[in-house]
Amino acid sequence: MPLPRISPVRLNQIVNGFSKSSIMVVGDTMLDEYVWGDVLRISPEAPVPVVQVQSRSHRLGGAANVVQNLKSLGVTPYLVSLCGDDVTGKNLREKLAQSGCSPSGMVVSPRRTTTIKTRIMARHQQIVRVDSETVGDLTMEEADALWSRFSSHLSQVDGVIISDYSKGVVSKPFLAKILAACKRRRMFVAIDPKERHFDLYKGVSVITPNLKEAHAALGLPYSRIDDRDIETLGWSIVRKLNLPFLLITLSERGLALFNRAAKTYTHLPTVAQNVFDVTGAGDTVISVYSAAITSKAKPIEAAFLANHAAGLSVAELGTACVSGEALLGACCGD
């Protein structure tokens, strides 16, 4: 299906509606740490570069980055997640507060380690990434605490985003309770998926896998495929998971939107001028798409906005947030 023309007046109407929208984000939060430096020599101990550290910085990651993206767009966000009772968890909650996002929905667990992804950078080139985390199912006490926070805010929101990084927050029983509660309210639910949980996502409003995850949804080995194969792959996922909509992120090739009721497949080519870092681009896509849908946009309009937001996001190093003003500037400059 060819991409329809969307007028600047209509785009303004949608983006201006973000401030009236509220969305709850449930999922795995993490802290992204960047160690900045330069390589001046090779180690005498092993054939590896020695990075002379010059500075360190921290950014919100995972579900926390989705919340931050929503806040930047003007949406009122609520976060339900879990972190450890450690320094990283304290830093994560402080970063949330500094970004204007309440950390009150964070369950602090003494049994878990807060996920931190440390990227060693030399002249803007990533040398290595080191992950420190606890991966595993939650205890009943932790799950009950998360449900309490979720249920207390559900009546205040227009939609729910599940940010699944497969660290433990998203489990079959917890997700089943969330989806049942949302179904009773006929509420929009978007999921940024992980491979091992695809069978849990049946019937939600939309999922936003990347191409590798889309292959995994069908148990297929990942391969770089052309547009015709993407269309076949997408419709197979729609049928398998009984989805009304599917939005596949295609990296430098843009997005692919599938509409089951209309039986349409639309490829939205990338609008990125520069691709510097794709970290967090999926968070940006699901944030903007969900913000638009809860602001009464049509799915193709929401995908159009999400595609332009992704183009802005990948031009930045690390996770990046897009404002409504910047998004309109990018869209209306076409």
For the stretch 92-113, pLDDT in tens is: 999 999 999 999 999 999 999 9
User: Is the pLDDT reported for residue 236 higher than 90?
Assistant: yes
Place of tokens 């159009």: 304
The model's pLDDT over 25-34, given as tens digits with 9 standing for 90+, comes to: 999 999 999 9
Mean pLDDT rounded to a whole number for the chain: 91
Q: What is the pLDDT of residue 251?
A: 81
DSSP 93-138: HHHHHHTT---TTEEEETTSPPPEEEEEEETTEEEEEEEE---SPP
- Split at pLDDT 50, 70, 90, the class of 1 is low
- For residue 54, pLDDT over 90 is answered with yes
> pLDDT grade, residue 17 (50/70/90)?
very high
Amino acid 94 reads E
Please tell me the number of Cα atoms within 13 Å of 311 on its side-chain side. Answer: 23
Tokens representing residue 320 in the block: 């990046």
One-letter amino acid identity for 177?
Answer: K
Dist. CA 212–CA 192, nearest whole Å: 13
Q: How far apart are CA 77 and CA 56, in angstroms?
A: 28
85 assigned to active site? no
> Which pTM was predicted?
0.93
Which residue in the block uniquely carries the two structure tokens 């639309």? 266
- Which pLDDT value is given to residue 2? 67
Domain covering 8-31+61-114+134-332 in this structure, CATH number = 3.40.1190.20
Residue tagged active-site, from 192, 277, 283, 334: 283
Considering only CA atoms, give the Rg of the chain. 20
Q: 33 Cβ partners below 8 Å, 6+ apart?
A: 56, 57, 58, 116, 117, 118, 119
What would the pLDDT profile of 182-213 be if each residue is shown by its tens digit? 999 999 999 999 888 888 899 999 999 999 99
Residue 332 has pLDDT above 80, yes or no: no
Burial class (CB in 10 A: 0-12, 13-18, 19+), 239: exposed
